[in-house]
Chain A
Amino acid sequence: MKPRETFEDDNIYILVEKIKNGDREAFITVTRIYQKKVFLLAFSFFRNREDAMDIVQETFLRFYEKVNMFRRGKNFQNWLLQIAKNLCVDYYRKNYKRNSDLQREKNVKELCQSSYSQKELNSSLDIKQIFSKCIDGLSEKQRMVFLMKHYNQLEYKEIAQILNIALGTAKSLHFKALQNLKVLMSPYMGRQT
Chain B
Amino acid sequence: MKHCKERKELAAFLYGELKDDERKRLESHLEVCPQCRKEIEELKQIVSESDSLKSDIKKALASVDWEMLPSKISENVFKKEIPLSRGSRTGKFWGLLFQPRFRPVYTALFLGILLGSLATFVVFRNSGFNGTTEGRFFVSGDFLERLELEMARRETLDYLEKSQYLLLDFVQSSPEKSAEFWQSNFASIRARDLLAKKKYIDLQLDRFQMAKAKKICDQIELLFFELAQITKELPVEEVKKIQNLIEERQILLKINLVKKELQDNEV
Are A and B interaction partners?
yes
Pick the interface stretch among A49-57, A72-80, A94-102, A104-112: A49-57
Given contacts A43-B60, A61-B82, contact A31 B8 (CB under 8 A): no
Report whether A57 and B73 are in contact in the complex, using a CB–CB cutoff of 8 Å. Answer: yes
Given contacts A174-B11, A181-B46, contact A128 B76 (CB under 8 A): no
Using Cβ atoms and an 8 Å threshold, which residues of chain A touch B46?
178, 181-182, 185
Report whether A172 and B8 are in contact in the complex, using a CB–CB cutoff of 8 Å. Answer: yes
Using Cβ atoms and an 8 Å threshold, which residues of chain B touch A181?
46, 49-50
Given contacts A28-B70, A65-B82, contact A151 B53 (CB under 8 A): yes
1/0 per residue A92-134: CB within 8 Å of B? 0000000000000000000000000000000000011001100
Report whether B45 and A189 are in contact in the complex, using a CB–CB cutoff of 8 Å. Answer: yes
Q: Which residue of chain B is the closest to A59 with respect to CB atoms?
A: B73
Of A24, A36, A66, A69, the residue contacting B78 (CB under 8 A) is A24
Of B50, B63, B73, the residue contacting A60 (CB under 8 A) is B73
Per the CB 8 Å criterion, the residue count for chain B at the interface is: 43
Residue B52 CB within 8 A of the other chain: yes
Using Cβ atoms and an 8 Å threshold, which residues of chain B touch A127?
49, 52
User: How close is A8's CB to chain B, nearest CB, in angstroms?
Assistant: 19
Q: Which residue of chain B is the closest to A127 with respect to CB atoms?
A: B52
Given contacts A24-B78, A49-B60, A189-B45, contact A128 B53 (CB under 8 A): yes
Using Cβ atoms and an 8 Å threshold, which residues of chain B touch A31?
69-70, 73-74
Contact surface of A with B, Cβ cutoff 8 Å:
1, 20, 24, 27-29, 31-32, 35-36, 39-40, 43-44, 47, 49, 52-53, 56-57, 60-61, 64-69, 127-128, 131-132, 146, 149-151, 155-156, 171-172, 174-175, 178, 181-182, 185, 189, 192
- Contacts A/B (CB < 8 Å), 18 sampled: A20-B84, A24-B74, A28-B70, A35-B69, A36-B66, A39-B64, A40-B61, A61-B76, A61-B80, A68-B87, A149-B15, A151-B53, A156-B12, A171-B8, A171-B17, A181-B49, A181-B50, A182-B46
